[in-house]
Chain A
Amino acid sequence: MDDRRFPLRIVDGRRLSEEYRKALKPGALIVDEEGRARRLPRFFYEVDSWLTATELELAPNFNLHEFIQTDVREAPVLHGFPRYVPCALVLLAGALSIFRDRVGTLVHVAANGGYRSPAHGRSRAASTHCWGTAANVYQIGDELLDRPEVIEKYRQVAQQSLPHVYVRSYGHGPAFADDHLHLDLGYVTVVPRDAAGEEEWGPGEESS
């Protein structure tokens, strides 16, 4: 019997140093485009090195490093290691793996298109990227997703293979995408069995 354990350490974000807490805002409430409050993830996996990220397969055909390639707009503390990713990232990788099977070729997640912290310069209005549950796919096989017909084609494939996943239509503006395929699972948080127990939220704690 295979008794492999997931190799990444589970961390309660509220116990991290202030520098990390400022970037990750674990458990904080932020407001989405519709004015609804959304609570950010509290539990994270600790990634100790780029090597670990490149070697760790989260789901068939998707390794961790594909989801954490961020640029200069990310909080400086998250440029190096250890780095922290929301535990729900494994669900996103699983969904993309199903999508990848359906398209039958490589699915490329864009830089800044996997997990981004709330402190990232491109993270706005409760972006699901801050939950680790959204992916911006910029290329499938050799095809760049920068034309309406290509985005629409793969949007339909995604909706058929992953009916529970939200996929943006082609278009300009905040609810659309015009140079990638945006897929997301929504505001999903994951609390692994080994995570610390929940506790009452004290006054003001949500803005940690």
Chain B
Amino acid sequence: MLKQIVDDIAATAGANEVAVGFYDWETATAWSLRGERWFHAASTIKVPVLLALVDAIAAGRFEWESWVHVRNRFASRVDAAPFRIPRERDADSVVHAEVGKLMRVRDLAERMIVASSNLATNLLLDLLGVRETRESIERLGLGGIDVARGVEDQRAFDGGLNNRVTADGLLALLRLLHEPRGFDAAAATQVVDVLGRQELTGALKLGLPEGVRARARVAHKTGEISTAAHDAGLVFLPDRKPFALVVLSEWPAGNGNRQAALGNVVAAIYRHLIESAEGAV
């Protein structure tokens, strides 16, 4: 039933593919559609990077207050050729304004998530190391997440080396944040708090009924490139336990229906969750 609704929305809007995953702590139910299908991660990869950052801080590699040199110059994962983050292609200008100076790890992490700063992401990934980031994710038992390179590494992109996620992978990460098994609970709370300060509106908020949206706290991260639109996060409502929801999608370039369609998917899932919870009473 839910599968059919999602597929109908996707087909009507012209999506190439839509994958969904949710876990509801109220009803203890999980569901996913094409949960193991890999997607280009777009900016959702910033959540695993944040998780690896928290893990590195817990391991004492550096601190939230540590300073990082803001330098817009990175080495490609393919051949170490230098590349930059074009300012005009970055959603955030705050970090670009600090080039040449120092910023704290805490502030870079904040910009990476709440404003989706590509420059902050690459600076943090450079600090962490791609290999170490992958090791953190593996150690936390998270499959379905493939951190392969920094953002805007065109040579890596041309070589087919991309950051990828599955709906099941991101869902497992979100579950880890809310029930932090093998992960420091205080650190998990910090990650959720940062996600909760998200400045970009995504499908998760759009899809909630208007009256609910005003009362909801949505800790999430969007991801948008020309051929992909995603949103993944935790939805906290005042009168029930939270749910985690991931919506990943692929589109023909230039499709203008993406956000509305993903909002409809979220709305359908929200109705399903509420009806399921009422039925369970």
Binding site for B on A (CB under 8 A): 69-73, 108, 110-113, 138-139, 144, 146, 172, 178-180
Contacts and interface: CB of A to CB of B under 8 A. Distances in A.
B71 interface: yes
A71 B68 contact: yes
Given A110-B71, A146-B72, A179-B73, A72 B66 contact: yes
Nearest to A109: B100
B82 A172 contact: yes
B69 interface: yes
9 contacts: A69-B101, A72-B127, A110-B69, A111-B102, A112-B71, A113-B100, A146-B72, A146-B99, A179-B72
* Binding site secondary structure of chain B: loop
A138 B67 CA distance: 18
Interface in B67-91: 67-73, 81-82, 84
Nearest to A144: B99
B108 to A, nearest CB: 11
B99 A69 contact: no
A113 B102 CA distance: 11
A69 B99 CA distance: 13
A180 B99 CA distance: 11
A111 B73 contact: no
B258 to A, nearest CB: 34
A111 B70 contact: yes
A70 B67 CA distance: 8
B218 interface: no
A81 to B, nearest CB: 15
Nearest to B67: A71
A111 B82 contact: no
Given A172-B81, A178-B73, A179-B73, A110 B100 contact: yes
Contacts of B72: 146, 179
B247 interface: no
B105 interface: yes
Contact of B69 (A112, A144, A146, A172): A112
